[in-house]
Structure 1
């Protein structure tokens, strides 16, 4: 095979392990290659991260592109392959003539950076704003590195006021802290960091608890402290009548109702929609507030559209009895229900799995949480950067010569949504074969376990820091055997050719997502409207 179509072995292993864990025996196999429809010479994880924007987004916090220390694109490709196998098998069981499926590591990378790509290419005149420096994690007087999380400005203000921070710094720091999920950078005032370095961690943790803020140390060990399954199934009462396949995508005729927010939950519905399901998105009266967050793509937030385009919207007040009744009516005609509500909300609202299974026998009910099945006495917020800090991902994201830190690329949010969608597909295929509905539980923490990582932090390798040239950067999977300063004396393209003559494969690093979107070699994997978005990541035949 040529380099661009040889098998991605790690992605194969991830797909096989996920399918084994789900107890699925798909009748359709999904092949994985490196580039797929992307017409670039991509032969390994480093090349894909460089060419498809992952190094750029991961490196924003430091100001230069940097390789994410995990084989993230390959892992996501493995999850996509499991989805392709399950979706194709489900369609085949429903009458479709599908024999094979295919995806690629490059397409997985484009899906990973999809929100950032939408922002960079929106038709809004709003200027994308992110600056390196000042990012969490923080450090206490004893040297403990830790992450903070709060979703409310009131908590942020109370926390810092208790610790005696300057009011101007508190006000200045909130927006970059709150926006770090969107920008992959967080330029916080240095005096906030300085203030925490003057305090012991016990004092900081006490102030966090009293303010409703979550504080969690960043582990130095990359191994996941508690291994949990990616998804768990629990039988629900009743059985479902099969829906015939009527053409189109493999999930054509399948109806999914979702009540989700932020990234993790909407990503699950987005993937199911890309596979052909009708996705009905439940939003509060007046619509999801995230719809109005700039930059705008047409009349809606570009970042919101990246995960929610194509979904039918129903506005329901789930705090009212009438709204909950309307949700049950929607679920009565659906195959699956997906939410990522806070723990306890479903039970308090009478909308837990057993409640909705009585409304819709044979329902696939999926809850994608933050920490399940971990049992915390006082659980911290279940958000991406805290999960990275505790799960070991932060320790694996950077080489051992650098302090461990969560990547501000939302690693577990994206992967958590994809794992949830995979669980839904596995449960739908199981229902097609047995008639049984199921509760599907997954979390950001359980998704973190899908990412292969080393037993200990690894030493820095040439691939970690792309080399600067006269007009850009080159990523190499091996040492070029020359002084890196020499590369600054010539252009990226000239050095790429010179290194190729020596048998060293070098990949130009994407440092502008707008240029990536405009590259005709990537065009077959992208859809252009008022912003640019990845096309569905699978081919079925």
Structure 2
């Protein structure tokens, strides 16, 4: 491994240690000694004109605290190095892409990314929604049915009468309604909560009628699980231990026995490292589409398969022109073809597409590919040398018939839900889609690793990754993180404290005009007496590092300091987060 060494004493280029650790781990799994010939660098801010010196500052300035804290009504840090983990995956992707570019004749020796750019990419859906036309783009406006009704923001999972904290998933309204009916809740109350529950993946908020949490607090977890099983919903306990129950590799690569393509058809002057590669994608929501999006940002030609009439997610507000902003954030720039998989003609059309592709990726439910006759063994016959990637929910972590694998259920079972919360809060998944995003990135990295392997062996491969394997990648230690690091509320916003101020609050109090012995409550009360702009120069003069917390992604998109990492049109979108040279 060869790193670009930052200039001594320059915090803007100081290497992010967790990101470096993640990148080195992933590159080690690639198993290609040529990765050592590509220099790579991960700094904190990249092209952003924002002083970022640690994970906490990145989460504050780039909007992660804002989105993660929406459900609770105030910015809150993730108690794990999430942005740094994303940056580590991006760096590994950049190295692999550089080697693939070299195989096509490009002269690429160096790649650079940053934790700040990683944070923006992780928030791409939320950023698009916040900058598109529509009502209340930063949250989930109440529907007509909700108007005038009491709905309570839900930042934590449900708790049963016997003290089991659990996460619930119902993929359609009937399962949701049946689950609560079986527990004795009036249908009108249940119906008022459905829209917010359904859209929590998109909005990172979830306001529910208080009768729902009250009902499960009177029921045993056995009764709750029985109701879920009968309704076709899924419940899983939230692990109290932040460590995952099993050690799972981010992806597994199973080579195909027969030889296939080994060359990359590209012009040596191509601008992007994956130019000349073709990807066929059949995926919905976030995980699969994001994998395809990343490969497209790296230059691949991505063809997206959608059902007749198009993906229903295209019409979900807020809209950017004629298409959902959130959908466009992950799918813009992809070619689209509509195919009905249920027909023989449709399945033949898929095989025809794949016969000219390098990669086929999907995030279908377990067993669907086999039922359709479109599994790896079926499609590799159409394209020797194919890289076949399945981005699942659980992989094989929970056996051959796992529960439905969605972001919050995976957070709950993997221990990530406990790791992201401080010790004075109950474990609960973040409503920011942490594993959906990381799962898509890990899938893309697995694809790149398989393409590199194909260069050397002449054989394609099956690549399996999952939301669970992505969640396990996030570094975390035993025990719950301490209840430190919450932003300080000023009169008009929030400021995130630097590491020294978090560790030694006695340095903060004098800068606010208080005695060094002032209590935490006194410090909080004092901070709220003045706006952020009043405190910033005083804190800087006292040597107390702070970062203003982003509380509006729309404002962030208009901030010229972020312009080098964003493109702004009908909505704001992160630019490709790599620099190749």
Query: Structure 1-normalised TM-score?
Result: 0.98
8 Å contact 1:31–1:102 — kept in the other structure?
A: yes
1:485 Cα deviation from its structure 2 partner = 1.6
- Alignment partner of 1:56 is 2:66: yes
Superposition deviation, residue 135 in structure 1:
4.4
- Asked if residue 86 in structure 1 is aligned to residue 96 in structure 2, the reply is yes
Q: How many residues align?
A: 539
Instruction: Report the equivalent of 1:13.
Output: 21
Q: Cα offset for 1:434?
A: 2.0
- Is the partner of 1:165 in helix, strand or coil? coil
Of the structure 1 ranges 164-173 and 73-82, higher mean CA displacement relative to structure 2 is found in: 164-173
**Counterpart of 1:279 in 2: which secondary structure?**
strand
Are the aligned partners of 1:398 and 1:404 in contact in 2 as well (CA < 8 Å)? yes
- 1:467 correspondence with 2:475: no
What is the alpha-carbon distance in structure 2 between the residues aligned to residue 16 and residue 284 of structure 1?
39
- Bigger drift between 90-99 and 40-49 goes to 90-99
Q: Gaps (5+ residues) in structure 1? A: none
Shift of 1:251: 0.2
Counterpart in 1 of 2:455?
432
Cα deviations across residues 252-303 of structure 1 (Å, max 9, x unaligned)?
0000000000100000000000000000000000100000011110110000
SS in 2 for 1:359: coil
Q: Distance in 1 between matches of 2:242 and 2:134?
A: 40
Following TM superposition, by how much is the alpha carbon of 1:337 offset from its aligned partner in structure 2, in angstroms? 0.4
User: Which of 430, 445, 457 is residue 407 of structure 1 equivalent to?
Assistant: 430
State the match for 1:394 in structure 2: 417
SS at match of 2:94: helix
Q: Distance in 2 between matches of 1:111 and 1:258?
A: 20
Q: 1:118 aligns with which of 114, 117, 128?
A: 128
The yes-or-no answer on 1:23 pairing with 2:31 is: yes
Give the equivalent residue in structure 2 for 1:457.
Answer: 480
Write the distance in 2 (CA, Å) between the matches of 1:401 and 1:289: 40
CA drift of 1:244 comes to: 3.4
SS at match of 1:257: strand
Say if 1:320 and 1:136 are closer, same or farther in 2 by CA, change over 3 A: farther
1:494 and 1:92 map into 2 onto residues whose CA distance is 52
Matches within 5 A, 1:314-329: 314-329=337-352
Q: Distance in 2 between matches of 1:448 and 1:388?
A: 7
Q: In structure 2, how many angstroms separate the alpha carbons of the residues matched to 1:421 and 1:226?
A: 23
Structure 2 segments unaligned to the other structure (5+ residues): 1-6, 142-151, 510-522
Pick from 485, 492, 501 the counterpart of residue 541 of structure 2.
501
Is 1:492 aligned with 2:513?
no
Asked if 1:333 is matched to 2:356, the reply is: yes
Cα distance in structure 2, aligned partners of 1:286 and 1:29: 46
Matching residue of 1:535 = 575
Report the counterpart of residue 252 of structure 2 in structure 1. 232
Deviation at 1:125, TM superposition (A): 5.5
- Residue by residue over 1:438-486, the C-alpha shift from the partner in whole angstroms, topping out at 9 and shown as x without a partner, is 100000001111100111112211x2x1001121100013334222221
Among 137, 146, 167, which residue is 2:187 paired with? 167
Residue by residue, what CA displacement relative to the aligned partner does 1:148-181 show, whole Å, maximum 9, x if unpaired? Answer: 0011111111111111101111100111111000
Is the Cα–Cα contact under 8 Å of residues 22 and 231 in structure 1 kept in the other structure? no
Query: How far 1:24 moved relative to its partner?
Result: 3.2
CA distance in 1, matches of 2:192, 2:496: 35
The question of 1:313 aligning with 2:323 is answered no
Once the two structures are TM-superposed, the CA of residue 241 in structure 1 deviates from its matched residue by: 4.0
Per-residue CA deviation, residues 342-363 of structure 1 (Å, 9 max, x unaligned), is 0001111111111111100000
Equivalent residues of 1:136, 1:186 under 8 A apart: no
TM-score, normalisation: structure 2: 0.91
Query: Are residues 129 and 241 of structure 1, via their aligned partners in 2, closer, same or farther at CA, if it must alter by over 3 Å?
Result: closer
In the alignment, the residues of structure 2 paired with residue 81 and residue 127 of structure 1 have an alpha-carbon distance, to the nearest angstrom, of 31
Superposition CA RMSD, Å: 1.3
Q: Confirm or deny: 8 A CA contact 1:364 1:428 kept in the other structure.
A: yes
**Aligned partners of 1:366, 1:532: CA distance in 2, in Å?**
29
2:199 corresponds to which residue?
179
Q: 1:282 to 1:431 in 2, by over 3 A?
A: same
Q: Deviations over 1:196-238 (max 9, x none)?
A: 1010110110010011110000010000101111010101133
Shift of 1:127: 5.0
